[in-house]
Structure 1
Amino acid sequence: MPQMAPLWWEILFIIFIASFLFMNTIIYFNKALPPQKSLTDKKASTDEFKWKW
């Protein structure tokens, strides 16, 4: 009979795999959606630097 790992090792491994997949899905959908706040901030910041000589 093969030697088996303790149950808590298997639970930690399953939690690690689940958190890894969850983190990757969050990163994927976060990059898929365009950030709208940064575009408006960039437009506002470029208007501030128009020099009037």
Structure 2
Amino acid sequence: MPQMSPMMWFLLFIMFTIVLILFNQMNFFTFKLNPLKSKSSPLTKKMKFNWKW
């Protein structure tokens, strides 16, 4: 069975690294997050903490 030269291993590593980065970038930019619009209740507006140290 023939052996691969170190340069071929390095090129294989570079190729897989580029594929991994491209795959992650595609997943990151294709995912659209819909932010939840929180309904602010009057209770949260009233509760202000004054820390007295």
User: Post-superposition, which runs of at least 4 consecutive aligned residues in structure 1 deviate over 3 A?
Assistant: none
> 5+ residue gaps in structure 1?
35-53
Q: TM-score, normalised by structure 1?
A: 0.54
By percentage of residues, which structure has more helix? 1
Larger Rg: 2
CA RMSD of aligned residues (A): 1.4
1:1-53 deviation digits (Å, cap 9, x = unpaired): x532110000000000010010000000000136xxxxxxxxxxxxxxxxxxx
> 5+ residue gaps in structure 2?
34-53
Query: Sequence identity, in percent?
Result: 12
Q: How many residues align?
A: 33
